[in-house]
Amino acid sequence: MGGAPQRPAKIRIQGLNKVFPAENGDFRALSGVDLHLGDGEFVSLLGPSGCGKSTLLRLIAGLESITSGSLEVDGRSLDGPPAGLGMVFQRDVLLDWRSILDNVLLPVEFAGGRRDDYVTRARDLLVQYGLAGFEDRHPWQLSGGMRQRAAICRALILDPSFLIMDEPFGALDALTRDELNIELQRLWQTTRKSVLFVTHSIAEAVFLSDRVVVMATRPGRIVETIAIDLPRPRDLAIRETASFGRYSAHIRDLFERHGVLRTKPS
């Protein structure tokens, strides 16, 4: 289950280390990370809590600086948030006092753009993501799944070239999560944006991804990158196939070998 041929790099990371100073000795959050996100590729980071997935996303987003190694976006080293980045978080972080439409338009204001130039696009995105008729509602009036759809629309309003998604569906119920996985796959197949997606779910990672990057902890590191050779578009029934099961079993075996998961009774 090796790697697929690499596409031109959107993100290229080599030998990356991240160390946080602490009173009782430095804490190494990430060690020797090598990662490639190709142009138009969907890659998932899969690992346990504390393995540095979110730290790695913060480094790519330019919110933290690396300790050593190299990190390039579009062939350039970072000195701040990269251009063309859209972010979706586990919490939707919508502002309750703003309408859904105004929440979607918030990045336009931060970027100093003219709101009126983006209203039509914002409404179109809300229609695409099943929120037609909810433009004037407030976040507290929407379900968790609807709020996360609005957060995705907000991330897309400036038409970013790549998305970073940090467990965006982790707080949702299983049925809503399945539905949003289907919608996210449709978004990706329509736009072919580069996506780096963080999850704790083996099934979600295999279902969505071109490649799954498996991480372990103490320190956070990549233990294997797995190319997912399953036909697209994928529906939920693919999770019942033998091929899907083999990928999932291989990842569970990796976690067990690295002390992340116990799959057998003691």
In terms of residues, how long is the chain? 266
Write out the H or E segment, with its range, that includes residue 67. Answer: none
Distance CA 257, CA 252 (A): 9
What separation in angstroms does the CA of 47 have from each of 30, 54, 199, 214, 259?
Answer: 13, 10, 7, 6, 12
pLDDT at 90 (0 to 100): 86
Distance CA 142, CA 96 (A): 11
pTM of the model: 0.91
Distance CA 34, CA 98 (A): 41
Could you tell me which residues come within 8 angstroms of residue 233 by beta carbon, excluding any fewer than 6 positions away?
A: 185, 186, 189
What separation in angstroms does the CA of 177 have from each of 144, 174, 241, 244?
Answer: 10, 5, 20, 18
Cβ atoms of 32 and 16 within 8 Å: the answer is yes
What residue ranges define each of the domains in the chain, with the CATH number in brackets?
1-84+162-266 (3.40.50.300), 91-160 (no CATH)
**According to DSSP H, which parts of 61-115 are helical?**
100-104, 106-110
Q: Residue 5 pLDDT more than 60?
A: no
pLDDT, tens digit, for every residue of 17-36? 999 998 888 899 999 999 99
Q: Residues 243-257, buried b or exposed e (16+ Cβ, 10 A)?
A: ebeebbebbeebbee
**Residue 264 — pLDDT band, cuts 50, 70, 90?**
low
Longest CA–CA span in the chain (Å) reads 62
pLDDT, tens digit, for every residue of 58-116? 999 999 999 999 999 999 998 888 989 999 988 899 999 999 999 999 999 999 999 99
What separation in angstroms does the CA of 242 have from each of 230, 238, 245, 248?
Answer: 11, 9, 5, 10
Cβ atoms of 233 and 185 within 8 Å: the answer is yes
Distance CA 144, CA 231 (A): 30
